[in-house]
Amino acid sequence: MSLLRACEYGDLEMLKYLIENCGCDANYQLGYSLVEIACMNGHLDVLKYLVEKGADMRIRKDCPLQFAAKNGHLDVVKFLVERGADVRASNDYAFFRACEFGHLDVVQFLIKKGVNVNVHDDWGCAVGFASRFGYLEIVQLLIEKGADIHIYDNFAIRNAARNGHLEIVKLLIQNGADIHSQNDYAICHAARNGHLQIVKLLVQNGADIHAQNDYAICYAAKSNNLEMVKFLHENGAKFMNVALHWASEYGLYNIVKFFIEKGADVNWRNGDDFGTGDNFAISRAFFNREFEVVKLLVENGANTHISVFSDEDRHTIMSYISLRNKAEIRAANKIGSWWIPICYDLNRECGKRMMERSWEKVKAMYEAL
C-alpha cells in the first residue's frame, strides 16, 4: 500500500526507497498499475522514474494515456505520446475523455497528433459530450476541425439544450444543427429543465412547441415553472387539461390556478381510469392529499361526486370530506386545542389507507375519534 500511496501523492523519494531498498517492482499493480496511478494524478516525475525502472507505460491498451487525458494532465500526455503511446488506442478513447471532461489544451494537442474528431461509442460522440457539459471552446474547436454536429442523431444540440448551455445551442444552430431531431427533443427537454432562454431561441428558429403531444408545457407545469408555462401558452401550447392534471397531482397551486384562469376543464377525464376515478384533476390532488388544490378545483366547479375508492359502495371525494370534517369537530369537542396535531397525525396515517383505495379502512380510522 505504501508503494501505491507514493505514486498517488507524488512522493518520489518514498517510491525510490521502496523500489531500490525494499525490492518492490515498478510493474506492481493492485487494481491499477503504478504507472496508471501516477498518470491519473499528474505526477510526471514519478512516471518518468517508473519508466526508467522498466514499468510498462502502455499497459492495458494505453490506459495510462487515457487517464492522463481524462484528468487534464497535459505534460503527462505529451510525455507518453513522445514515448510511443498510441493516441488512437481504444477508438480514440483518450481524446473522447478529454472532450467529455473539458480539457481544451489536451484536446488541442491530441488533434494535432491525428485523432478522429468524429469519434463516438455506444453512448455518444466527442462533440456531443462537450456540448452536454458546456465546454463552448471545445465545441468551437471541434467544429473548426470538421466535427460532424449531426452525428448520433444530433446528439450535440439535444444535450446542450437539455442541460441549459445557451451559447452552445446558438453555435450549433448557426452551424446547421437539426433542432427537430428525435421529435423535437431539444425544446421538450429544455422546457422540462427550465431553460427558458433556450426554449425561446428554439421557438424563434422554428421548433415545434406542440411536439410529443405538448410535452413541453406538461413538463414545465410538473416542474412548477410558471414563467415557462406562461411563455408556452402564449405561443400556442395546448393540452392544458393534461398539464392541469400533472400540476394538481403535485399540488402546484399557482400552476393549477393559471390553467383554470386560461380555461382548462377542471372536470376533464384523461382516458380510462379503470373505475377508480384516478384520471380527474381533483382525484389526483385528493389522493396526494393536496387539499389546497382540491379546494381550488372545487371552487372552480370540479365534481366532488367522483367515485374514488375501490369498495363496492363507490364512495366519493365529498364522502371523504364530510367524514373528515365530522371527525375533526368531534375531536375538537373532546380534546380542545390539542386536536390539531392529533388530527394531523391521523390524516397522515389516513393517507396511507387512502392509497389502498379502501373506504372502510379510512372510515374506521376517522370514526375512532
Instruction: Read off the C-alpha cell for 248.
Output: 394538481
How does pLDDT run across 12-50, given as a tens digit for each residue?
A: 999 988 888 887 888 878 888 999 999 999 999 999 999
User: Under DSSP, is residue 307 helix (H, G, I), strand (E, B) or coil?
Assistant: strand
Query: Is 357 a residue whose pLDDT tops 50?
Result: no
Whose CA is closest to 89, among 114, 108, 109, 106?
Answer: 114
Instruction: Read off the C-alpha cell for 33.
Output: 498499475
Q: What is the pLDDT of residue 326?
A: 52
Distance separating alpha carbons of residues 198 and 320, to the nearest angstrom: 45
Q: Which positions ≥6 away from 111 have C-beta within 8 Å?
A: 95, 117, 141, 145
φ/ψ (deg, to 5) at 30: -140, 90
CA distances (Å), 103 to each of 67, 170, 196, 213, 278, in order? Answer: 12, 22, 29, 39, 51
- Across 222-226, 237-241, 278-282, least confident range: 278-282
Q: Confirm if 163 and 134 have CB atoms less than 8 A apart.
A: yes
Matching residue, cell 384533476? 281
Distance separating alpha carbons of residues 247 and 218, to the nearest angstrom: 8
Distance separating alpha carbons of residues 189 and 197, to the nearest angstrom: 13
Average pLDDT over residues 44-62: 89
Segment holding 33, helix H or strand E = strand 32-33
How, if at all, do strands 32-33 and 120-121 pair?
unpaired
Q: What is the pLDDT of residue 20?
A: 84
pLDDT-derived band at 365, boundaries 50, 70, 90? very low
- Give the total residue count for the chain: 369
Whose CA is closest to 71, among 111, 44, 31?
Answer: 44
Distance separating alpha carbons of residues 339 and 369, to the nearest angstrom: 10
How does pLDDT run across 264-321, given as a tens digit for each residue?
A: 999 998 764 433 445 788 888 877 878 889 889 989 998 877 765 544 445 555 555 5
Global pTM value: 0.80
Instruction: Read off the C-alpha cell for 259.
Output: 390553467
Sequence-ordered strand ranges (E) for 115-212: 120-121, 124-125
Q: What is the pLDDT of residue 319?
A: 57
Average pLDDT over residues 317-337: 50
Q: Confirm if 205 and 180 have CB atoms less than 8 A apart.
A: no
Distance separating alpha carbons of residues 335 and 344, to the nearest angstrom: 14
Looking at every residue in the chain, the average pLDDT score rounds to: 83
pLDDT-derived band at 369, boundaries 50, 70, 90? very low
Residue type, 23: G
Burial 170-184 (b: 16+ CB within 10 A, else e): bbbbeeebbbbbeeb
Residue 32 DSSP symbol: E
DSSP per-residue codes, 19-47: HHHS---TT-EESEEHHHHHHHTT-HHHH
